Structure 1
Amino acid sequence: MTGAIEAAVADLAAWLTGAAGDPVPLGPPRDDPGGGLTVWPLELRPARQTAGSGGTREPYRFVVRLLVSGGGPAALPALDRVLAAATAAGQPEVVLAAGDPALWRALGVAPRPALLLDVPARIDRPAPSAPPVRQPLRLRQLDMRTLDGRVVGPERQPLAAMRVELVGTAQATETDAGGRFRLVGVPHDPEAPDRPVRIRLVGRGRTHTADLDPADSDPVVVCAPD
């Protein structure tokens, strides 16, 4: 199985062959006055990662930086064609920063004109598998009820125009001039009749969350300032 680095290098070598007009083998720079270009991977560089949605894991992204060089004047026309092709196409990204003498000393060759090409690569991450369902599915129908209540301030004054949201649903309404609200279609589980109903109040520059007793026929929510 071909890895991400190997695939990125192979793709670039194929592109270089077309751009230069001659085969561009994979190998370190060489002192060969009559030779053509070579391409050699130098380093891996980080790339901006993207965040997944819906629990998916985005691929891990990175960049393979490769050195394209050739020995002697015979390599200059091919290097010129590669630079022109990359500039015209906008990819791969060209970095003109291969003149560091330390690089050539490390490679054991004389300094020469060269290009650095950055090629994006990625490693796909396997999607998490859902655990198997080991028991028969059980479908239950929930009752729907209407919830009436009031929203008041610290001195029991009614709070009008407060947005009342049923947490976990799209249900929402606003309080009237008397601070009253009505939410229609509130799920009610007969097997858990004491489970509180959670609402969120938004208004007057603050957000307040409250749990209401489903058995209370007229719950009152006191929305105090922070």
Structure 2
Amino acid sequence: MTGAIEAATADLAAWLTGAAGEPVPVGPPRDDPDGGLTVWPLELRPARQTRGSGGAREPYRFVLRLLVCGTGPAALPRLDRVLAAAATAGEPELVLDAGDPALWRAFGVPPRPALLVDVPAQIARPVPPAPPVLRPLRLRQLELRTLDGWVVGPQQQPLAAMRVELVGTGTATHTDSAGRFRLVGVPHDPDAPGRPLHLRLVGRGRTHLAELDPADPDPVIVCAPPAD
């Protein structure tokens, strides 16, 4: 399997060959009596990472910096053609900053015309396998029911115009003058009959959260007065 660095280097070598009009081998700078260009990976540079939506893992991104250098007079027109092709196409990104004497001492060759090319690369992150389905899928539809109730204060006085909302849904209504309310379309799971319903009541300067037993045919919700 070809890795990200190897693939990016091979792609650039192919592009350089087309731009220069002569084969550009992958290898370190060399003293070749025939002259020509070579390309060699020089450095890995960090790149800005992106975050996937929905928890997806984005590839790990980095920049591969490669050294393109020439040997002998024959390399000069090839470098010219590479520069012209990159300027015309707007890519790859060329960096004219390869004149550090320490670089050439590290390779053990005299200084020569060269340029740096930055190529974006990435490594795909493995996606964890989904857990196997061990049993057949069963689709079921929740029943919808109507919930009637009564909202009162601490002295059992009816509380009118209170907003009654089923938490987590868009279902809401208001109490009438007798403090009564009716919520239509309340989901009911017959496989979990004891699961409580959570209501939020807002009005008269107070907010009250209530937990109701769905089996209660006529629940009464007592709202405490607002704190001073």
Q: Same fold (TM over 0.5)?
A: yes
Shift of 1:9: 0.7
**Which residue type is aligned with residue 96 of structure 1?**
L
Shift of 1:210: 4.9
Please give the per-residue CA displacement for 1:100-132, whole angstroms capped at 9, x wherever unaligned.
Answer: 222111111222221111112222233322212
Tell me the matched-pair count: 215
Measure the CA separation in 1 of the matches of 2:111 and 2:208.
Answer: 69
Pick closer, same or farther for the CA change 1:196–1:111 going to 2, 3 Å. farther
Q: Secondary structure at the match of 2:185?
A: strand
**Would you say the 8 A contact 1:149–1:220 is kept in 2?**
no
**Would you say the 8 A contact 2:37–2:78 is kept in 1?**
yes
More moved, 88-97 vs 187-196: 187-196
Shift of 1:23: 0.9
1:63-78 matched pairs, under 5 angstroms = 63-78=63-78
**Which residue type is aligned with residue 187 of structure 2?**
P
Please give the per-residue CA displacement for 1:63-91, whole angstroms capped at 9, x wherever unaligned.
Answer: 21100011233322211211221122122
**Would you say the 8 A contact 2:143–2:189 is kept in 1?**
yes
- The answer to whether residue 220 in structure 2 is matched with residue 212 in structure 1 is no
Counterpart of 2:12 in structure 1 is 12
- The answer to whether residue 127 in structure 2 is matched with residue 119 in structure 1 is no
Shift of 1:195: 2.0
Measure the CA separation in 1 of the matches of 2:53 and 2:70.
Answer: 45
> Any unmatched runs of 5+ in structure 1?
152-157, 203-207
Pick closer, same or farther for the CA change 1:212–1:65 going to 2, 3 Å. same
More moved, 44-53 vs 22-31: 44-53
**Would you say the 8 A contact 1:70–1:114 is kept in 2?**
yes
Normalising by structure 1, what TM-score? 0.74
Pick closer, same or farther for the CA change 1:37–1:212 going to 2, 3 Å. same
Pick closer, same or farther for the CA change 1:105–1:218 going to 2, 3 Å. farther
Counterpart of 1:41 in structure 2 is 41
1:69-148 matched pairs, under 5 angstroms = 69-146=69-146
**Which residue type is aligned with residue 48 of structure 1?**
R
Measure the CA separation in 2 of the matches of 1:148 and 1:65.
Answer: 71
Pick closer, same or farther for the CA change 1:135–1:37 going to 2, 3 Å. same
Please give the per-residue CA displacement for 1:163-187, whole angstroms capped at 9, x wherever unaligned.
Answer: 95742x5x25586999998754332
Counterpart of 1:50 in structure 2 is 50
Counterpart of 1:22 in structure 2 is 22
